[in-house]
A and B are shown apart, each in its own frame.
Chain A
């Protein structure tokens, strides 16, 4: 038994000990090399290295590892501004693995030239990793600008969705198309269109956002609630307040967010909801009145006000307790501030 156990142990030790030594050396020497490279970074490529990288790029790797080595080669060539990059990036972009294609998209974003933008937009149409493409196009703003408007008329709803989303930072572009898209058959497109319209102004835009508050899809109503508040402010408050009684929680939440942003101008509409038959609507109205400071104002100014009692009745005992606790601390804070 001794002999067998010893043979096994010796074999294991013969592998394990050198492995431990080699790996330890790899850690320490690898780290030293890394520190040296970090201290003296080089961007220029020697002709031999360039040849090696181009060779690697021209091969068709079968393994994931090989694909990533190809991506690394592309990044290195791009860093050195090699003229072959536009040709090579197309090859990586065509990779069926979206993570590999995403790396090429990042390279295109780094390049940022006219042809790179065109290629990104063309990929957005043909179906690359669209959120990554969108992120790069947004990073390149305002350059892609007018080219994005064309996406709003694409046959593919996904492309229209991204077109509408990407127009967010361009308040002067595509307004009429975006308004038209709030009637798109695809709800995702309607949601994106109304979200983008939320960063604009004007009567037509306002009317479009208000119309979307009655959309049949809840997530369109979510975006519409936020957009209407931004575009119309207090004028939209009565309509948005209605959404506090929406059947969907997330719509009610969006309505609350929007009314908070409108601020004290929303008070009259909110007060009208305090006696609503839906408890969610009553709670929501009381919560927003609390969040915009109206409850605190009443609690300090006129603690026995019937209006305050109505709000407490709508918001429940915890709302009262919280308001009273805050009110107790307020004079102290004023003194501290003074």
Chain B
């Protein structure tokens, strides 16, 4: 009897895994089409012309920085080197307790100025605004600590341009990152209200970005390599397909372009959530669909930069549990959208997809991890059957991962061939080497969500090579 129940539960778990993977396979097909269209679009673009054209739209780039002394200077440097006709960089020092502000002062010759700004959003007190003597388009806002959303809102108050691009301080960008993002916006600024694009990951982004495109290394350490694969899957299987299907539900915090008037209309970045990016994307969808307005939020396949990945397992767990929490918080907060035809594909497919593949996943994963070996131990399953099942799941994941690698390389040709080959070999081992860590982090995140914990638990930055 116990064996039958156990067997049934295991089969349910297997069914869940099969269903989610089949859904991912379907999304891959959509992503292939989307990637092909974007690739043709990219090929037909005149980036040189765009880089000097008066007809691009100016952008305010906002960086929220809290205790980023090791990464801030290189991050801001990469932003100031962007090739774009008109942009400003607004760094918001969110009450850092380390030397973030001093590093900025030294590197960019900052001087205090009184700047009268619009107070569209209430934020923690702004202590001082600095301008750079050698970079006229750099503004640094020093404020009391209020969290990332509060810092981004302070940046929005200072922003002068019609589009804003929120970025993370630990990310190093390609010179044409804004051009790549904004080229899509320029085509239809009335409808495109938000956009994100693919980012690579490395332990030390400056070192990776120092190599020319096409010869960029992918970190050799398996922990970083697997995170790289995770990013590839998230962008090239999920977001790209969602973008095509009209429910792009996560404009990532490391590179998110928004039309400023839309952010002002929806109330800016929300402070009641663990992170700001997913929630904001949901909120914009909810508002526009509820009001029956025409709009688009996109994800592009272009690699626009490299962000820092946690270099140790505890740091990774800390980051991923936070991500899980914010997904749970957001999906729960917007539960009125679940299966609601009023919210079209977002309500009928996008949010339920999130619910099934992200919110409920930790429960199924936990069941599978505990019950599969138990079922084998109790003789419900033959060890050979168990082995074949594990191999089937591992190679299904590997095939999905390989398609993400294929799409990324087709679009950007960023990384060395031998590193891509190494990733392809690592892919089938993801299930046993990397997935358990993520499952643990997701369980932790879900547990903390249930307890109502909303702390940031920021991971300590990796030690970087001197610039």
Report which A residues bind B (CB closer than 8 A): 1-2, 4-6, 8-10, 12-13, 15-17, 19-20, 23-24, 26-28, 30-32, 34-35, 64-65, 68-69, 71-72, 75, 98-99, 102-103, 106, 109-110, 129, 131-132, 134-136, 138-139, 168, 249, 253, 280, 283-284, 286-287, 290-291, 315-316, 318-319, 321-322, 325-326, 329
C-beta contact mask, B396-414 vs A, less than 8 Å → 1, else 0?
A: 1011001101100110010
Quick one: given A5-B11, A68-B40, A98-B187, are A109 and B46 in contact (CB under 8 Å)?
Answer: yes
Complex Cα distance, B37 from A291, in Å, reads: 47
Q: Is A65 touching B115 in the complex (CB atoms < 8 A)?
A: no
Q: Is A17 touching B395 in the complex (CB atoms < 8 A)?
A: yes
The interface residues of chain B lying within 8 Å CB-to-CB of A280 are 116
The interface residues of chain B lying within 8 Å CB-to-CB of A64 are 33, 37
Extra A-B contacts (4), CB below 8 Å, given A9-B385, A13-B391, A139-B53: A1-B7, A8-B14, A13-B392, A72-B43
Closest to B15 in A: A8
Among B11, B53, B420, point to the contact of A27 (Cβ < 8 A): B420
Q: Is B417 touching A32 in the complex (CB atoms < 8 A)?
A: yes
C-beta contact mask, B363-402 vs A, less than 8 Å → 1, else 0?
A: 0000000000000000011101100110111011011001
The interface residues of chain B lying within 8 Å CB-to-CB of A30 are 406, 409-410
Complex Cα distance, B43 from A110, in Å, reads: 13
Q: Is B399 touching A326 in the complex (CB atoms < 8 A)?
A: no
Complex Cα distance, B117 from A284, in Å, reads: 10
Complex Cα distance, B55 from A168, in Å, reads: 12
Q: Is B428 touching A20 in the complex (CB atoms < 8 A)?
A: yes
C-beta contact mask, B95-127 vs A, less than 8 Å → 1, else 0?
A: 000000000000000011111101000000000
The interface residues of chain A lying within 8 Å CB-to-CB of B36 are 65, 68
A–B pairs, 6, beta carbons within 8 Å = A9-B388, A10-B388, A27-B421, A68-B36, A75-B43, A135-B46
Tell me the smallest distance from the CB of B140 to a CB of chain A, in Å: 13
Complex Cα distance, B402 from A23, in Å, reads: 6
The interface residues of chain B lying within 8 Å CB-to-CB of A1 are 7, 11, 380-381
Quick one: given A71-B40, A284-B116, are A138 and B392 in contact (CB under 8 Å)?
Answer: no
Which residues B264-309 have CB closer than 8 A to chain A?
Answer: none
The interface residues of chain A lying within 8 Å CB-to-CB of B428 are 20
Q: Is A20 touching B398 in the complex (CB atoms < 8 A)?
A: yes
Q: Is B399 touching A16 in the complex (CB atoms < 8 A)?
A: yes
Among A23, A106, A129, A139, point to the contact of B44 (Cβ < 8 A): A106
Q: Is A12 touching B392 in the complex (CB atoms < 8 A)?
A: yes
Tell me the smallest distance from the CB of B104 to a CB of chain A, in Å: 15
The 8 residue pairs across chains A and B that have the minimum distance between CB atoms: A23-B402, A319-B114, A68-B40, A103-B44, A16-B395, A19-B399, A322-B112, A12-B392
Among B54, B112, B421, B427, point to the contact of A138 (Cβ < 8 A): B54
Among B112, B385, B389, B391, point to the contact of A321 (Cβ < 8 A): B112
Complex Cα distance, B373 from A35, in Å, reads: 47
Q: Is B385 touching A2 in the complex (CB atoms < 8 A)?
A: yes
Q: Is A291 touching B40 in the complex (CB atoms < 8 A)?
A: no
Q: Is A5 touching B381 in the complex (CB atoms < 8 A)?
A: yes
The interface residues of chain B lying within 8 Å CB-to-CB of A72 are 40, 43
Q: Is A135 touching B53 in the complex (CB atoms < 8 A)?
A: yes
The interface residues of chain B lying within 8 Å CB-to-CB of A69 are 40
Tell me the smallest distance from the CB of A30 to a CB of chain B, in Å: 7
Q: Is B381 touching A28 in the complex (CB atoms < 8 A)?
A: no
Q: Is A27 touching B44 in the complex (CB atoms < 8 A)?
A: no
Tell me the smallest distance from the CB of B292 to a CB of chain A, in Å: 23
The interface residues of chain A lying within 8 Å CB-to-CB of B53 are 135, 138-139
The interface residues of chain A lying within 8 Å CB-to-CB of B262 are none
Complex Cα distance, B141 from A318, in Å, reads: 13
Among A65, A131, A315, point to the contact of B55 (Cβ < 8 A): A131
Q: Is B186 touching A28 in the complex (CB atoms < 8 A)?
A: no
Q: Is B114 touching A290 in the complex (CB atoms < 8 A)?
A: yes
Closest to A70 in B: B40
Tell me the smallest distance from the CB of B276 to a CB of chain A, in Å: 25
Interchain Cβ contacts within 8 Å, total number: 166
Complex Cα distance, B381 from A5, in Å, reads: 9
Closest to B424 in A: A24
Complex Cα distance, B30 from A64, in Å, reads: 13
Among B14, B118, B396, B413, point to the contact of A34 (Cβ < 8 A): B413
The interface residues of chain B lying within 8 Å CB-to-CB of A13 are 388, 391-392, 395
Tell me the smallest distance from the CB of A190 to a CB of chain B, in Å: 18
Q: Is B392 touching A10 in the complex (CB atoms < 8 A)?
A: yes
Q: Is B113 touching A291 in the complex (CB atoms < 8 A)?
A: yes
Closest to A23 in B: B402
Query: Is B455 in contact with chain A by the CB < 8 A criterion?
Result: no
C-beta contact mask, B24-49 vs A, less than 8 Å → 1, else 0?
A: 00000000010011001101111001
Complex Cα distance, B403 from A325, in Å, reads: 57
Query: Is B18 in contact with chain A by the CB < 8 A criterion?
Result: yes
Query: Is B50 in contact with chain A by the CB < 8 A criterion?
Result: yes
Q: Is B409 touching A31 in the complex (CB atoms < 8 A)?
A: yes
Q: Is A20 touching B40 in the complex (CB atoms < 8 A)?
A: no
Query: Is B160 in contact with chain A by the CB < 8 A criterion?
Result: yes
Query: Is B128 in contact with chain A by the CB < 8 A criterion?
Result: yes
C-beta contact mask, B53-73 vs A, less than 8 Å → 1, else 0?
A: 111000000000000000000
Complex Cα distance, B402 from A131, in Å, reads: 39
Q: Is A6 touching B55 in the complex (CB atoms < 8 A)?
A: no
Q: Is A290 touching B49 in the complex (CB atoms < 8 A)?
A: no
Quick one: given A31-B413, A68-B40, A98-B188, are A9 and B113 in contact (CB under 8 Å)?
Answer: no
Closest to A249 in B: B118
Among A20, A26, A71, A325, point to the contact of B112 (Cβ < 8 A): A325
Q: Is B45 touching A106 in the complex (CB atoms < 8 A)?
A: yes
Q: Is B392 touching A16 in the complex (CB atoms < 8 A)?
A: yes
Quick one: given A28-B417, A65-B36, A106-B45, are A129 and B187 in contact (CB under 8 Å)?
Answer: yes
The interface residues of chain A lying within 8 Å CB-to-CB of B399 are 15-17, 19-20, 23
The interface residues of chain B lying within 8 Å CB-to-CB of A15 are 396, 399
Closest to B417 in A: A31
Tell me the smallest distance from the CB of A31 to a CB of chain B, in Å: 5
Tell me the smallest distance from the CB of B105 to a CB of chain A, in Å: 10
Q: Is B395 touching A9 in the complex (CB atoms < 8 A)?
A: no
Q: Is A23 touching B392 in the complex (CB atoms < 8 A)?
A: no
Quick one: given A6-B388, A65-B37, A98-B188, are A28 and B420 in contact (CB under 8 Å)?
Answer: yes
Q: Is B112 touching A135 in the complex (CB atoms < 8 A)?
A: no
Closest to A28 in B: B421
Q: Is A322 touching B395 in the complex (CB atoms < 8 A)?
A: no
The interface residues of chain A lying within 8 Å CB-to-CB of B410 are 30
Tell me the smallest distance from the CB of A167 to a CB of chain B, in Å: 12
Q: Is B388 touching A322 in the complex (CB atoms < 8 A)?
A: no
Tell me the smallest distance from the CB of B392 to a CB of chain A, in Å: 4
Q: Is A23 touching B385 in the complex (CB atoms < 8 A)?
A: no
Tell me the smallest distance from the CB of B398 to a CB of chain A, in Å: 4
The interface residues of chain B lying within 8 Å CB-to-CB of A2 are 381-382, 385
The interface residues of chain B lying within 8 Å CB-to-CB of A102 are 44, 187
The interface residues of chain A lying within 8 Å CB-to-CB of B43 are 72, 75
Closest to B130 in A: A322
Q: Is A135 touching B55 in the complex (CB atoms < 8 A)?
A: yes
Complex Cα distance, B129 from A321, in Å, reads: 11
Closest to B34 in A: A64
Complex Cα distance, B391 from A69, in Å, reads: 39
Tell me the smallest distance from the CB of A309 to a CB of chain B, in Å: 15
